[in-house]
Amino acid sequence: MFSFYSRKPNLLGIDISSSAIKLVEMARRGREYRIESYAVAPLPEGVCNEKDIVDPEPVGEAIRKALRESRTRLKHCALAVPTSMAISKIITMQGSIPIGEMEAQIAIEADQHIPYSMDEVSYDFEILGPSRKSPELVDILLAGTRTENVEVRVAAAEMAGLTVDIVDTETHALEKVLRRLTNELEQYDSVAVVDFGATMTSITVFEQGRLTFSREQAFGGRQLTEQIMHRYGLTWQEAGLAKKEGHLPENYISEVLDPFKDNMVGQLHRFLQFYYASSQREGVSQVLLSGGCARIPGIDEQIQAVIGTPVKIVNPFVNVALGTKVSPARFTNDMQALLIAAGLSLRGLD
């Protein structure tokens, strides 16, 4: 199961990250969107190696916990495969080819572009629209992953009593939430979205509204928590709570936080250099920050000062209403980590 096209009204979006389960339920009335429920449930240490699920059972239990906390009644969901585990490529074909023939040709293309035996691969495609190369051509997004990456995520969701209708890619889910809830992708010639997560940092670049580049690196907020833990002799839980609530000694900012922020800037700068080298471009129009570490005060200004490109914290939920089950204060605190889950939930509202 790996599908861009399957649809089921009112889907739960479930983002299985390296450290937590993020669950979002979205609804739509006319042109208005609403967060009906959401939850964030931590994953036990060692359950995921970066984003590779080592043991699906604790993941399933964490999903069950998120379901209880969210108080949702939905039983159908959409999941995502990490960018690092998926292969995406835009191919072009004659727009006049009948869909049946196109599917057969795409199967041949998939065999050429995905470096695994097709018996081990799940893939799907989406017709993006007319190609910039010629009005007679169409651009097609081809995405594939090893079937085991899909099956382990589906197994975890099913252990929690859910039915999986869609398995997407994280980059596609991110594109969905930005395109549906903001005008960021259409407003600029090129946009780089940088997500600073718990253990992974990723960059996704859109040129003229279309995905053209993505990359991930092992780096994230967990490193800051570990530094706090070792520097001040705290347990993991104590360090995480102190980081969140700001109850740390005066030298924390200069000796721990500032060096970590410098590392964040360095990671983003290296990402951009990879992109410039591969695309032969010299810059991007806008950098959008997301993820838990994007909430660190002043990080957007520091990055902008170094790279010389406009930088801002992305908030696709600015015009989204909150349902009665959702605490506004709590949602505001968590929303930077919910973009992929929200994009997955939007798949049920197409």
Domain holding 155: CATH number? 3.30.420.40
Task: Convert the pLDDT of each residue in 197-206 to its tens digit.
Answer: 888 899 999 9
- For residues 143 and 36, membership in a common domain is answered with yes
pTM of the model: 0.89
> Which pair of structure tokens corresponds to residue 60?
């399933």
291 in the Ramachandran plot: left (φ > 0), alpha (ψ -120 to 50) or beta? left
Q: Is the pLDDT of residue 6 over 70?
A: no
Tell me whether residue 214 is in a domain.
Answer: yes
- For residues 303 and 211, membership in a common domain is answered with yes
Q: Is the pLDDT of residue 121 over 90?
A: no
Structural domain including 17 reads 12-182+316-349
Q: Helices marked H in the chain — which ranges?
A: 56-70, 99-113, 147-159, 170-181, 184-187, 221-232, 236-245, 252, 258-279, 299-307, 328-334, 339-346
Quote the percentage of the chain above a pLDDT of 70: 97
Q: DSSP letters along 79-122, please?
A: EEE-GGGEEEEEEEEETTS-HHHHHHHHHHHHHHHS-S-GGGEE
At 61 the pLDDT is 97
Q: What does the DSSP 8-state code read for residue 44?
A: P
Tell me whether residue 194 is in a domain.
Answer: no
297 CB contacts (<8 Å, ≥6 apart)? Answer: none
- State the average pLDDT over residues 262-272: 95
Block residue for tokens 């060096």: 259
Tell me whether residue 190 is in a domain.
Answer: no
**Which long-range contacts does 95-103 make (Cβ < 8 Å, 24+ apart)?**
95/130, 95/136, 95/137, 95/138, 96/136, 102/140
Instruction: Give the separation between CA 212 and CA 189, rounded to whole angstroms.
Output: 12
pLDDT band at 8 (very low <50, low <70, confident <90, very high): low
Tell me whether residue 193 is in a domain.
Answer: no
First to last CA, the chain: 19
Residue type present at position 222? R
- State the average pLDDT over residues 217-244: 91
Is there a contact between 122 and 85 (Cβ–Cβ < 8 Å)? no
At 123 the pLDDT is 83
**Closest-CA residue to 258 (of 196, 302, 225):** 302
- For residues 150 and 210, membership in a common domain is answered with no
At 1 the pLDDT is 46
